[in-house]
Amino acid sequence: MDDRTLREIYLPAFEAAVKEAKAYSIMGAYNKFRGEYLCESDYMLNQILRNEWDFQGVVVSDWAAVHSTAKSLKNGLDIEMGTPKPFNQYFLADPLIAAVRAGEITESEIDIHVKRILRALFQVKAMGDTASRVKGSIATEAHYKDAYNIAAESIVLLKTKIMPCRYK
């Protein structure tokens, strides 16, 4: 696709998530863009996301969406999510250690990714001052009521879209 289509149709929602909602993380997709997997796309992850939009958060892969070690890391991926193999075989596990030892990736490059991950953990108060972390609630009556109301409204919307009223 050309840049105009990309920027007018596909990117605005992501840009709003980064700039307006101040997202702490973005997930890279499985598919390819201009011949490169999105989890290793310098254009999408570095040039647009980080440089143009000033994204400071972490980029996480979708499950099994990583296809390389050095290229993924150099082009902006911070965290690899699971694949159907043992953890040490993930691209950002033992192969990453081997890439550092082989000189394909420097420790200072890894430090950049570690800093991003730690920043996000501190922002959500998973580390550091956890005492000021807002306590949440799970599975309350209010949650059940909201879920029911959302489902009920969705059913009405679905009926309206599939079987619109016909006036005679």
Where in the sequence numbering do the catalytic residues fall?
62
* 52, two tokens: 């143009």
Distances (CA, A) of 116 to 64, 76, 128: 21, 11, 15
Asked if residue 91 lies in contact with residue 151, where contact means CB atoms within 8 angstroms, the answer is no
Residue 25 CA to residue 53 CA, distance in Å, equals 13
Element (H, E) at 117: helix 107-123
Residue 64 CA to residue 85 CA, distance in Å, equals 10
Residue 112 CA to residue 10 CA, distance in Å, equals 28
